[in-house]
Amino acid sequence: MLLPWRRKHRDANLSRYLDGELDGSEMDEVTERLVLDDSSAERLDAYSIVSRLVDLATGPPGMPDSEAAADRVLGRLAVAPAAGAVLSFANPRYGRRRHLTPALLASLGLLLTAGVTIVGLRRRGIV
Amino acid sequence: MQTRRILTDGSREREWVRRIVGGNIEAFRTLVVDYHPLAYSLAYRVLNDAEDAEEVVQDAFVKIHCALEGFRGESSLKTWILRIVLRLSLNRRRDRSRTAWRRLGLHRGGEAGDEDGELGLAAPGPDPEGLLIAKETRSRVLAAVESLSPPLREVVVLSTLEDLTYDEIARILRVPVGTVSSRLHAARRKLVDVLQREDLI
């Protein structure tokens, strides 16, 4: 009689066997067991049926056209696909786009303001 | 649902990313076309809504485009992309006023192949797994998945995506492989119990 944890381990191996994840001695052990033990074979059948039912129930009824999907993705990226084209839609340096962030703009504005203020004060002889 | 198998290796991915970051539009377009089916499949499985799934996938690829410069290649492009899609999908799901699962039955009346109340997920014929799954069965299975805790539900959803290994799922979720294995097993055990009680299996 198998201890519960041992039975659970053997049962888990049936699941792995179903998915082709066993090899070597574990594969041999399960293959032999399936021949000799009807309950193991029934258990494997149940797992197989469940897997198939889940696959059928959850799977999409149809598949959208992948080419059209690719066109839509490229459209969202604002790139017109052209056969053989090598378009650089990003900075040539590995696609990194540089742009002025609000923080950077604010800093430049402050520097400009400070510069103008200093120039004005110097003209008046204050600085 | 068959999703295209994307065969890549590390060096090809790095070259691909380098070209995209360098401004090559066609390279990025190829990436979108290649990964769109897998990304959409994942988004749909989380959101259970075609429109939401497509929007999330669009958002994801725009985000991916901006983030590619920072892609270090520590994980594969596939797991990196799916991690972004999963995160955005979960965010969308959380933000919706009604959950995707509760909209079942109210939203899916117009789906193709639904005239007889059956959702034809595969044409019956020589394929032994070409099953028709009844609308009600689908609702109950989805309700069972919904009853799982979020960590178990995420693993179950990812496990339904084709060609995802435990290792890839672990990288997407940023958990150990053992955790993926134990969560998936726990989820299946719970689902078996629930669906057996409902006489579905």
Which helix (H) or strand (E) segment is B133 a member of? strand B132-134
Q: What does the pLDDT read at residue B162?
A: 78
Higher pLDDT, A94 or B40: B40
Q: Is A68 on the interface with B (CB under 8 A)?
A: no
Residues of chain B contacting residue A74, judged by C-beta atoms under 8 Å apart: 25, 28-29, 32
Looking at every residue in chain A, the average pLDDT score rounds to 82
The Cα–Cα gap between B18 and B10 comes to 12
Residues of chain A contacting residue B119, judged by C-beta atoms under 8 Å apart: 61
C-alpha closest to that of B158 among B55, B43, B56, B35: B43
Question: In this structure, what is the dihedral angle of CA atoms B46, B107, A69, B171, given to the nearest 10 degrees?
Answer: 0
Quote ipTM for the complex. 0.76
Residue to test with chain A: of B29, B104, B114, most A Cβ within 10 A: B29
Of B40, B131, B188, the CB nearest to A50: B188
CB contact under 8 Å between A96 and B189, yes or no, is no
CB contact under 8 Å between B166 and A73, yes or no, is no
Q: Is A25 on the interface with B (CB under 8 A)?
A: no
Q: Which residues contact A63 (CB under 8 A, 6 or more apart)?
A: B1, B37, B40, B41
CB contact under 8 Å between A95 and B196, yes or no, is no
Q: Which two tokens stand for residue A122?
A: 């110097």
Looking at residue B75, the DSSP 8-state letter turns out to be S
Does A98 score more than 60 pLDDT? no
CB contacts under 8 A, B 6-65 vs A, are 21-26, 28-29, 32-34, 36-37, 40-41, 44-45, 48, 50, 53-54, 57-58, 61-62, 65
Of A12, A54, A61, the CB nearest to B119: A61
CB B147 within 8 A of CB B163: no
Q: What does the pLDDT read at residue B111?
A: 44
DSSP string, B84-130: HHHHHHHHHHHHSSS-TGGGTTTSGGG-TT-TTSEEESS-SSS-TT-
pLDDT in tens, A28-85: 999 999 999 999 999 999 999 999 999 999 999 999 999 999 999 999 987 544 444 4
From the centroid of its chain, how far is CA B84? 11
Q: Which residues contact A71 (CB under 8 A, 6 or more apart)?
A: A81
Q: What does the pLDDT read at residue B8?
A: 57
Identity of the amino acid at A43: R
Higher pLDDT, B124 or A106: A106
| pTM, entire model | 0.72
Q: Does residue A58 sit in helix, strand or coil?
A: helix
Of B40, B58, B113, the CB nearest to A73: B58
**pLDDT per residue of chain B (201 residues) written in tens, 0 to 9:** 445 555 557 788 888 898 999 989 999 999 999 999 999 999 999 999 999 999 999 999 999 999 998 888 888 999 999 999 999 999 999 887 555 445 554 444 434 444 333 333 333 344 444 455 688 899 999 999 999 999 999 999 999 997 799 999 999 999 999 999 999 999 999 999 999 998 888
Q: Which two tokens stand for residue A4?
A: 């519960």
Q: Which residues of B172-186 are buried (b: 16+ CB within 10 A; e: fewer)?
A: bbebeeebbbbbbbb
Q: Which two tokens stand for residue A18?
A: 């179903």
Taking every pair of Cα atoms in chain A, the longest distance, rounded to a whole number of angstroms, is 105
Of A59, A62, A90, the CB nearest to B112: A62
Residues of chain B contacting residue A64, judged by C-beta atoms under 8 Å apart: 36, 40, 50, 54
CB contact under 8 Å between A59 and B200, yes or no, is no
Does A93 score more than 50 pLDDT? no
Q: What does the pLDDT read at residue A79?
A: 58
